[in-house]
Amino acid sequence: MKQSQYQSYNDLPLFLNARMVADVLGVSPSSGYELMREKGFPALKVGSRIVVPRDKFIAWVERESGGGSA
């Protein structure tokens, strides 16, 4: 698994792009892009970009991991 450059949720920007999502989760960039297109993932389309609000991402991670934290 790839090591994330982020040490805590506080290090994350307010909005994450697919590469940041992938980095946080320790997966490939292509997996990050795929995840952002999945139903139920808290992504927002802003023009031609897809971003994820940090707070919604954190809530998704906690929900999907059974309440754990990163």
Q: Each residue of 33-65: pLDDT tens digit? A: 999 999 999 999 999 999 999 999 999 999 999
Report pLDDT for 3.
66
Report pLDDT for 50.
95
CB-facing half-sphere around the CA of 41: CA atoms within 13 A:
19
Q: Which domains does the chain have, with CATH numbers?
A: 9-63 (1.10.10)
Q: Each residue of 17-35: pLDDT tens digit? A: 999 999 999 999 999 999 9
Alpha helices for 1-70 (secondary structure H): 18-25, 29-36, 54-64
Report pLDDT for 1.
58
> Which residues make Cβ contacts (< 8 Å) with residue 14, sequence separation at least 6?
53, 54
Report pLDDT for 7.
81
